Amino acid sequence: MDLIRVLVADGDKDTRAELLRMLAFAQELVVVGEAQDGMDAVQKSIVLQPDVILLDINMSGLDGFRAAEKITLEVPAAAVIIVSGQGEQEYLRRAMLAGAREFLVKPLQSEELINTVKTVYQVESKRLAQGEQKNIPKKSEVITVFGTKGGVGKTTLAVNLAVLLAKNRQKVVLFDLDLQFGDVAVFLNLFPRRTMSELAQERDAWDIELLESYLLPHVSGAKILPAPSRPEYAELITVEHVGEAINLLKLNYDYIIIDTPPFFNEINLTALDLSTQILLVLAMDLATIKNIKLSLELLESLQHSAKTKLILNRASDDMGITVADAEDTLDFLIAGYIPSEGKIVVPALNEGIPFVLSHPASRVSKAMQEVTDLVLKNRGYQEDLQIRHKQNILNRLFK
Ligand SMILES: Nc1ncnc2c1ncn2[C@@H]1O[C@H](COP(=O)(O)OP(=O)(O)OP(=O)(O)O)[C@@H](O)[C@H]1O
Ligand SMILES: [Mg+2]
């Protein structure tokens, strides 16, 4: 059985500690976070995507009912259990109206609490499996393009991927999460008036309509959420902003492509957590291979390996290191290859026209289409590649 991920929200520190102590008796449950007020509960639900949320009613700011309403709207796959000091009918009614699945009255017994969490989770899982949940947003793919070496081609890949997906009639948004020096808008010859930093300042009014008003349309059909106009404005953007923006965008878009800066920080880690696919961009030089090795280790410790695909950029015949050597060193197979094509890729950037549009028939554009197919068909994970790898070895042995 999967672990049931629980968020505990209660205004009182001692009550939270008591709930944690009780939940610790059940091995199937894991507490993924604690929230101290209603707004905190909503934000942590969005970022952490728990299965079950225990919500106290008497919390400052947003009370438990209003928090429950927001959570059921923004994280419909999570189930809310209201925990109340009073058991009056009116409270129960309001809890159900707010979308809560259960209502518990304090003081609680450990067994009662654990059984309720498990039952709610099981009912909710069945309901999700049967697709009965009406409010559920469409299944969106969140794709983070990542790499811990500067200049390996992350933005090039993210931009061309977004354009090809849009041409495939998918609803696509490209989120520039390189918050200090993001250049997605430059790659697409767009001039944002408002960016993620202005959006962050309107935090209290966030909903999908507001986010939409910040998106810049590109001729390909893809839309862009631009990075701040100055590096110092990056500080205005928090992990919660990023988590919530991604989850709101999921309401309207099939694909959310995220371009990142070349390092791990809390914001990138949030994007990686929320991603369904991670494209890790590799180049064939020793420094990059060393960095990718460390990144792969970190991604493994975060349990992201299964959704990671390794893409080799600027592949050519004379790289000095063979693909097999790199795969051996990394203990990870490469899923996609983009050739080195300076004569096409660099002018495309300077003109602000993605090369898949300016040179659709070129080798580099065809390779980009193959990488896009890996994304669209949800292929290129280690599991798929290892099967192919073994077959290749067997074919060679018995040829
Ligand atoms: N396949 C390729 N062939 C030739 N040039 C390429 C290729 N891919 C990327 N480049 C060039 O390499 C440079 C860096 O690419 P890009 O900005 O996409 O890298 P990045 O990983 O996003 O960098 P940063 O870490 O600074 O954000 C650009 O000038 C781009 O045109
Ligand atoms: Mg970049």
Query: For residue 347, which phi and psi values (nearest 5 degrees)?
Result: -60, -35
Concatenating the DSSP letter of every residue in 58-84 gives --SSS-HHHHHHHHHHH-TTSEEEEEE
Pocket probe mutation, ligand 1, options 144, 145, 155, 179, max atoms within 8 Å of Cβ: 155
State in Å: Cα 310 to ligand 1 middle. 16
Question: 33 CB under 6 A from ligand 1?
Answer: no
Output the CA–CA distances (angstroms, integers) from residue 244 to 135, 139, 325, in the order listed: 17, 16, 41
Closest CA to 312 of 304, 322, 303, 302: 322
Same fold, 4-129 and 141-397: yes
What is the end-to-end Cα distance of the chain in Å, rounded? 43
Amino acid in position 352 = G
Which residue's alpha carbon is nearest to atom 5 within ligand 1? 342
Report how far residue 315's alpha carbon sits from residue 337's, in angstroms, rounded to the nearest whole number: 6
Question: 365 CB under 6 A from ligand 1?
Answer: no
Which residue's alpha carbon is nearest to atom 9 within ligand 1? 153
Contacts of 332 (CB under 8 A, 6+ apart): 296, 308, 310, 382
- The pocket of ion ligand 2, defined by CB under 5 A, consists of 154-155
Of ligand 1's atoms, which has the minimum distance to the CA of residue 259? 22
Question: 262 CB under 6 A from ligand 1?
Answer: yes
Locus of tokens 């609490």: 113
Question: 340 CB under 6 A from ligand 1?
Answer: yes
Strand partners, 257: 143, 174
Three-class secondary structure assignment of 104-118:
EECCCCHHHHHHHHH
Instruction: Report DSSP state, residue 283.
Output: -
Which residue's alpha carbon is nearest to atom 30 within ligand 1? 346
Question: 314 CB under 6 A from ligand 1?
Answer: yes
Of ligand 1's atoms, which has the minimum distance to the CA of residue 342? 4
Strand partners, 6: 31, 52
Report pTM.
0.70
Give the start-to-end residue ranges of the domains of the chain: 4-129, 141-397
Locus of tokens 């969005």: 46
Helix (H, G, I), strand (E, B) or coil at 287: helix
Instruction: Report DSSP state, residue 168.
Output: T
Report how far residue 74's alpha carbon sits from residue 71's, in angstroms, rounded to the nearest whole number: 5
- Looking at residue 316, its pLDDT comes to 78
Question: 348 CB under 6 A from ligand 1?
Answer: no
What strands lie across the sheet with 52-56, from one edge to the other?
A: 29-35, 4-9, 52-56, 79-84, 102-105
State in Å: Cα 303 to ligand 2 middle. 25
State in Å: Cα 293 to ligand 2 middle. 20
Closest CA to 113 of 19, 15, 9: 19
Report how far residue 133's alpha carbon sits from residue 202's, in angstroms, rounded to the nearest whole number: 30
| pLDDT block averages, 10 residues each, the chain of length 399 | 88 95 93 93 87 94 91 88 88 88 93 95 83 57 95 97 93 97 96 96 92 95 96 96 94 96 95 96 94 96 94 85 92 95 95 95 96 93 79 65
Instruction: Report DSSP state, residue 1.
Output: -
Report how far residue 174's alpha carbon sits from residue 169's, in angstroms, rounded to the nearest whole number: 15
- DSSP H or E segment with residue 305: none
Q: What's the topology of domain 141-397?
A: Rossmann fold (3.40.50)
- Looking at residue 399, its pLDDT comes to 60
Contact 292, 264 (CB under 8 A): no
Output the CA–CA distances (angstroms, integers) from residue 263 to 178, 190, 268, 294, in the order listed: 10, 26, 8, 11
Locus of tokens 């934000």: 43
Contact 310, 384 (CB under 8 A): no
Class of domain 4-129 as given by CATH: alpha beta
User: Which ligand is nearest to the Cα of residue 288, counting in written order?
Assistant: 1
Of ligand 1's atoms, which has the minimum distance to the CA of residue 181? 27
Pocket probe mutation, ligand 1, options 148, 258, 345, 365, max atoms within 8 Å of Cβ: 345
Concatenating the DSSP letter of every residue in 5-31 gives EEEEE-S-HHHHHHHHHHHTT-TTEEE
Closest CA to 23 of 6, 2, 3: 6
- Looking at residue 161, its pLDDT comes to 98
Contact 154, 278 (CB under 8 A): no
Report how far residue 220's alpha carbon sits from residue 56's, in angstroms, rounded to the nearest whole number: 47
